[in-house]
Amino acid sequence: MRSVTGRKNISEMCADLLQDESNLSGAWCEAAAWPENTDEAEEYIRECSRSGIPLTVSGGLTGIAGGALPEGGSVISASALKDIRLLGNGNITAGAGVTIEELNSFVSANMDGFYPPDPTEETATVGGTIATDASGADTFLYGSTRKWVEGLQIILPGGRLFTIKRGQYKFENRTCTHPLLGTLQLPLLRREQPPKNAAGYHIREGMDLIDLFIGSEGTLGFISEAELKLAPEPQYVIDLAVFPENTGSFWELYGSLLNTEEHLRIRALEMMDDRCMDFLRSHPGEFPLPPANAVFCLLLRAEADNDEHLEEILVTLDEMLIASNSNPETAWGGFEPSERKRIKDFRHALPEAVNHCISEVRRKYPSIHKFGSDGAVGPSRLEEYYNRTRSILEDRGLPFVIFGHAGDGHIHANAMPEDPRQMLLADSAMREIAAAAVEMGGTVSAEHGLGKLKLDYLKLMYSEDEIRGMEAIRSIIDPDHLFG
């Protein structure tokens, strides 16, 4: 097993461990290890626990909330756990360090189905996506990572090996007793957690014990391996980009797609607002530009089982576009690889242009970074939440764009500060946007988790008693609070 000790050695020899996509600075640690199998991971965790050394778990380091960045202690990286195996039941067992890209290649080479979780960054790992319960565009139809995890192997604090399958242990009356863990009690929440939620531990009456560990952001142990299930591949996948020429048409189309009773198997329903359209036009690159009159963009992915179903979907969508005054002639898309690629490139162009813009500003102010919101509300309140988010950012005079997973009521506002004064304004805007989502019955984080960057937001969403209840669960599993 590779391991490095000494703060200076780590910052010189493995500085990549001290940086993820959150832009948080100041991470450091005294030691790091890359176990290559479960035995090595168990031994390392046992040793750290014996010596009282705090442990931060690291995966693909694509996280946006800084959960994988250490503040002292030791880092245990899952990146060398690369085993993938087919199981007799059609599922797959994957080591925690297998990336989503590696998993997808393995699946397409060996199996018929596909693995739906797709958090955009394909260097994210199986362990990291489970620890954050990652979502992606197709979550609208396929749910988040949780739905595809059938079993976990976890090394608990103290180095105890814990394996669990879905269906083995459930909470009843908010209580679950497990021979290794003891008795765990879920806190009583004032209101149910929103359906798409990555803030705090997963808490639902009657839930499976495995779900407590999914989305626990490296605070309840080291996920070393997972059993994952696949979805059947549909015959056709259609990608469409629709460009309404006014805001009213966009919201009308959005509403009718949400409420349709037709057999449109919509996988993804995403949006980019007028600020995104203007931003792309003013930062042209190697991607297709939106049509001249486009005000908003609605990105839609649907799937069909056969030619008849495909025809039915295309006709229905055409009618819906016309009914909402969106011109079908300016829409892009189809099921051919070239059309789907055009839309993929267009979708990826926005975060790339935002990052490029931030790096330009950084030449003058090196500490500048992007601020991103991750709140979600019930889809029926998305328009209200969008308008509120927008006015919070406009009131502060910040440059920003808003886009996201509209079908799940989930949007990301990206504020791009241009100087240190705007950094402070962006920080307060993000907090206000998060609080607005909670006020509307939603969550402060729907997919990125809270990590270290947004841990404080937990208090916007949960009462002191609720947070104490989550802490109590953690104290039973990790009495010395060494993880996370």
Q: Name the residues that contact ligand FAD, by CB under 6 A.
A: 20-21, 56-64, 67-68, 78, 96, 119-121, 124-125, 127-129, 131-132, 134-136, 217-218, 222-223, 351, 447-448, 451
Phi and psi (nearest 5°) for 32? -150, 145
Residue 36 has a CB neighbour count (10 Å cut-off) of 15
Minimal distance in Å, beta carbon 20 to ligand FAD? Answer: 5
28 bridge partner residues: 71
CB nearer to ligand FAD: pick between 57 and 438: 57
Minimal distance in Å, beta carbon 443 to ligand FAD? Answer: 13
Minimal distance in Å, beta carbon 335 to ligand FAD? Answer: 22
Name the strand (E) or helix (H) holding 13.
Answer: helix 7-13
User: Nearest to ligand FAD by Cβ — which residue?
Assistant: 128
CB nearer to ligand FAD: pick between 127 and 159: 127
Minimal distance in Å, beta carbon 311 to ligand FAD? Answer: 31
CB nearer to ligand FAD: pick between 58 and 422: 58
CB nearer to ligand FAD: pick between 309 and 410: 410
CB nearer to ligand FAD: pick between 63 and 417: 63
CB nearer to ligand FAD: pick between 64 and 358: 64
**Separation CA 277–CA 401 (nearest Å):** 9
Regarding beta strands 31-34 and 74-77, do their DSSP bridges make them parallel or antiparallel, or are they unpaired?
A: parallel
Read out DSSP for 347-393? Answer: HHHHHHHHHHHHHHHHTT-TT---EE-B-B--GGGHHHHHHHHHHHH
b/e 121-135 (16+ beta carbons within 10 angstroms → b): beebbbbbbbbbbbb
Cα angle 365-434-189, degrees, rounded to a multiple of 5 = 145
**Separation CA 371–CA 417 (nearest Å):** 8
- The pair of three-digit structure tokens given for residue 17, joined into one six-digit string: 């461990």
Phi and psi (nearest 5°) for 148? -110, 5
Minimal distance in Å, beta carbon 224 to ligand FAD? Answer: 7
Minimal distance in Å, beta carbon 432 to ligand FAD? Answer: 23
Minimal distance in Å, beta carbon 453 to ligand FAD? Answer: 11
CB nearer to ligand FAD: pick between 298 and 331: 298
| C-alpha count within 13 angstroms, C-beta hemisphere, residue 410 | 24
